[in-house]
């Protein structure tokens, strides 16, 4: 019996470390999660509480409650990131171009260079953007599949006869599983709500509401995805078919209707990578094991920046019989 959400959080942390910075963080190497990961999670939890606590600056100043951990947690993570950066400088990382290399190349071309503190913040951004979102989405997807054996049977059908070890196969030849991922993000969006500060000038929304500069706007993919006026009366049901056309291709919705990956020029840069990771995790696990949910563990979400499953997703696994 184990918490698969925890495994996903470790796997996606290692994946983003490898892809973006050429180094695995080693989250799957030991039973206990590394301090880097524990303190990273704590920093995010405290930051989220700050958004809802008008007294946070007072608490931070006097180091009250969880705020007393913030500085030391930040130090553990920042030290870990600086170590990744120095490994990279000394050539002690995977021998291929990473996202960080590409960003630095672009900056150099434009006549700029990033000081270490900016590189550190870029690493923070990528860890936040690339790790939690995908682990959370994979957990809800896993849960939905276990709740819908008919859908899981179709996923198995889609796997049949395919070379699932090839990444191009996983990327291009799994429309049904891709639809499962997208439908999961509709009903359980990893980023359930997000804020935008209106800086430049006053403007009017398409529905006529006037927005003044200085306003903070919040929109919620979670509410969007559960609005019957947008998704129909069956909007609370998880139905991957929603995202498939009659030709078994992915049905496209406007970014306004489906803002789970944001939209416009700020559309999530990692959408394709996230879908690939989710499919890879599901295919690898379900091709080797049968899973069942541990009973009497209610499934609900945690109030946080990311829509984690509260208290994890506890499952039992047995080697696959067929």
Residues that bind ligand HEM (CB under 6 A): 16, 126, 129-130, 133-134, 137, 185, 190-191, 194, 260-262, 266, 268-270, 273-274
Backbone angles phi, psi at 2, to 5 degrees: -155, 165
**Which residue is closest to ligand HEM by CB?**
270
The alpha carbon of 89 is separated from its chain's Cα centroid by a whole number of angstroms, namely: 28
Residue 132 beta carbon to ligand HEM: minimum distance, rounded to whole angstroms:
9
- Residue 102: partners with Cβ closer than 8 Å, 6 or more residues away: none
Nearer to ligand HEM, 110 or 218 (CB): 218
Give 244's DSSP letter. B
Backbone angles phi, psi at 321, to 5 degrees: -85, -25
Residue 268 is labelled as binding a ligand? yes
Nearer to ligand HEM, 42 or 280 (CB): 280
Residue 316 beta carbon to ligand HEM: minimum distance, rounded to whole angstroms:
26
Nearer to ligand HEM, 60 or 188 (CB): 188
Cα separations (Å) of 14 from 8, 29, 36, 149, 271? 10, 10, 12, 30, 18
Exposed (0-12), middle (13-18) or buried (19+): which is 173, by Cβ within 10 Å?
A: middle
Residue 16 beta carbon to ligand HEM: minimum distance, rounded to whole angstroms:
6
Nearer to ligand HEM, 266 or 322 (CB): 266
Residue 247 beta carbon to ligand HEM: minimum distance, rounded to whole angstroms:
25
Residues within the annotated binding site? 268
């Amino acid at each position: 019996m184990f918490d698969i959400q925890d495994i996903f959080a470790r796997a996606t942390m290692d994946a983003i470390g490898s892809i973006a910075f050429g180094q695995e963080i080693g989250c799957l190497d030991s039973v206990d999660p590394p301090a880097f990961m524990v303190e990273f999670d704590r920093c995010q939890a405290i930051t989220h509480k700050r958004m809802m606590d008008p007294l946070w600056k007072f608490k931070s100043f006097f180091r009250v409650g969880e705020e007393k951990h913030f500085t030391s947690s930040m130090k553990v993570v920042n030290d870990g990131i600086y170590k990744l950066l120095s490994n990279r400088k000394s050539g002690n990382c995977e021998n291929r171009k990473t996202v960080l290399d590409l960003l630095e190349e672009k900056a150099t071309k434009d006549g700029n260079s990033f000081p270490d503190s900016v590189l550190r913040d870029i690493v923070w951004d990528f860890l936040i953007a690339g790790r939690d979102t995908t682990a959370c989405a994979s957990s809800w997807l896993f849960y939905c599949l276990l709740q819908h054996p008919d859908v899981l049977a179709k996923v198995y059908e889609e796997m049949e006869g395919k070379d699932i070890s090839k990444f191009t196969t996983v990327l291009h030849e799994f429309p049904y599983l891709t639809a499962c991922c997208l439908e999961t993000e509709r009903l359980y969006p990893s980023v359930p709500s997000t804020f935008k500060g209106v800086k430049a000038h006053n403007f009017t929304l398409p529905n006529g509401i006037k927005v003044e500069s200085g306003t903070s706007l919040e929109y919620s993919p979670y509410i969007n995805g559960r609005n019957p006026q947008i998704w129909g009366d069956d909007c609370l049901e998880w139905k991957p078919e929603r995202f498939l056309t009659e030709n078994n291709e992915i049905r496209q919705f406007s970014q306004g209707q489906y803002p789970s990956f944001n939209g416009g020029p700020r559309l999530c840069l990692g959408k394709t990578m996230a879908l690939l990771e989710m499919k890879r995790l599901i295919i690898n696990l379900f091709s080797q094991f049968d899973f069942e949910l541990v009973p009497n563990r209610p499934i609900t979400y945690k109030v946080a920046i990311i829509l984690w499953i509260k208290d994890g997703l506890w499952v039992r696994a047995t080697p696959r019989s067929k």
